[in-house]
Structure 1
């Protein structure tokens, strides 16, 4: 697919595929550093500030879904302009943990007996936001879900900053209107004093305007959230757990996923 280059009026070529080489992974970690560390002010125990890489111990077991600008130089680690981290439950042994295990009690998801996929580290280069890049990543994700027979997608989704009261309207709206079904609902492990705003004090317009666009997108697909929030001291975010049961997706979303999976061989 040929697209207009971001801000430059020049043609470029975007492609979506899984990371194939160490260079791909390093480029994804470089993008994550620009977004999560430089832009959002986060940190982490394995962040390499000298090499400008955001990484952690989970990177080696995740699949990395990448948005590639084929006109940029891979040798400079700048060809990756979007990324998603994917971990199917079939890759874990009985002793392995999901990334979200540190933040949320996932026992109900595990007990469901259904095929799980953890999502994380979703980011896109600022120059490529507002275009078709995120849509292309989602199309790649849909292909992955179909090919791996995934039934439930989940992962931490973040509000900027670690003061949940700043996002009281959005968090209250999510709690009162979008809790995941009880049988797969997770719960935050952290005792942080968070209490959702009373339902009669909520303003829908304000709540949705303040909500990150990625979370709104999950809701449109039929997603819900777990109970409580986790305040991440490293990334300085307020995290909720998004849970998307593919059996509850809207007909429109199902059609989109089916179209995305037709005949493709990206993944």
Structure 2
């Protein structure tokens, strides 16, 4: 994994990414997830440990956790970003990919591509809107390249479960960003819903984009596409869409990381 440390002032972040290996590192990642997904956004789940303040589920022990550190901070507080990632082998050990509860992943299984599921991505609030996410993506790009991954996918979320408030961005995703048919996973289950809500010619594109979370917009800029339909996750207090990034998008991510590395140097 890469290490990028800018030595300017004591307050300047010193970013590094790595795979969490020790219990302390994994718990620091789960604690950050608790702060963001539970305390900040109101999510919950059957295995969330409110006493220890750990956001966790059955997939965590099978997955890798890419963590972003700010080495200018002390101790466990150094963990300021996380991505949970699962290869096909990890998913087999876990029984399924996380997304399989929300989407029929048959098109991805049948694609013959090396798959990597992304999930539980979050940043400490002090680092949002700055270079931290790019450094976390750098670690993700390294991880994918080392494992010759062909396709990244995972659910990305709108906060809250009020679908009526999300008709514009969901409709825009349906009309402008659907995955090609061969990879078009479909939302399943009792809370699955169509994103084809507002006709394309009646959409206010600017308003729709403005309502999208920054992470979804970032994936789309890389060339990401979405599955057919959304999924309302009441436990996690979100409306989820399935993002799919093919090899061209992965290459674009790697090029952006190389550009960032040259700028850091």
* Aligned counterparts, 1:20-35, within 5 A: 20-35=21-36
Check conservation: 1:143, 1:261, Cα contact below 8 A.
no
Number of the residue aligned with 2:211:
210
Which of 2, 5, 16 is equivalent to 2:6? 2
Q: TM-score, normalised by structure 1?
A: 0.89
2:84–2:119: 8 Å Cα contact kept in structure 1?
yes
TM-score normalised by length of structure 2: 0.90
Counterpart position of 1:123: 122
1:72 deviates by 2.7
Structure 1 residues 190 and 92, CA gap change in structure 2 (3 angstroms): closer
Q: Write the distance in 1 (CA, Å) between the matches of 2:47 and 2:251.
A: 42
Q: Is the 8 A contact 1:47 1:53 kept in 2?
A: yes
Alpha-carbon spacing, 1:244–1:213, altered in 2? closer, same or farther (3 Å):
same
Alignment of 1:56-71 (within 5 A): 56-71=57-72
| Contact 1:66/1:137 (8 A) holds in 2 | yes
Q: Deviations over 1:176-209 (max 9, x none)?
A: 0000011011000134454422111111111111
Give the superposed CA RMSD.
2.2
Does the C-alpha gap of structure 1 residues 171 and 83 become closer, same or farther in structure 2, counting only changes over 3 Å? same
For structure 2, the residue ranges without an aligned partner over 5 or more in a row are none
What residue is the counterpart of 2:154 in the other structure? Answer: 155
Q: CA deviation at 1:122?
A: 0.4
| Number of aligned residue pairs | 256
Per the alignment, in what secondary structure is the counterpart of residue 180 of structure 1? Answer: coil
Map 1:128-143; keep pairs closer than 5 Å.
128-143=127-142
CA–CA distance in 1 between the matches of 2:117 and 2:251? 23
- Give the distance between the partners of 1:252 and 1:213, measured in 2 at CA: 18
Structure 1 residue runs of 5 or longer lacking an equivalent are: 263-267
How far the C-alpha of 1:78 sits from its partner, in A, is: 2.1
Deviation at 1:251, TM superposition (A): 7.1
Which segment is superposed worse, 251-260 or 46-55?
251-260
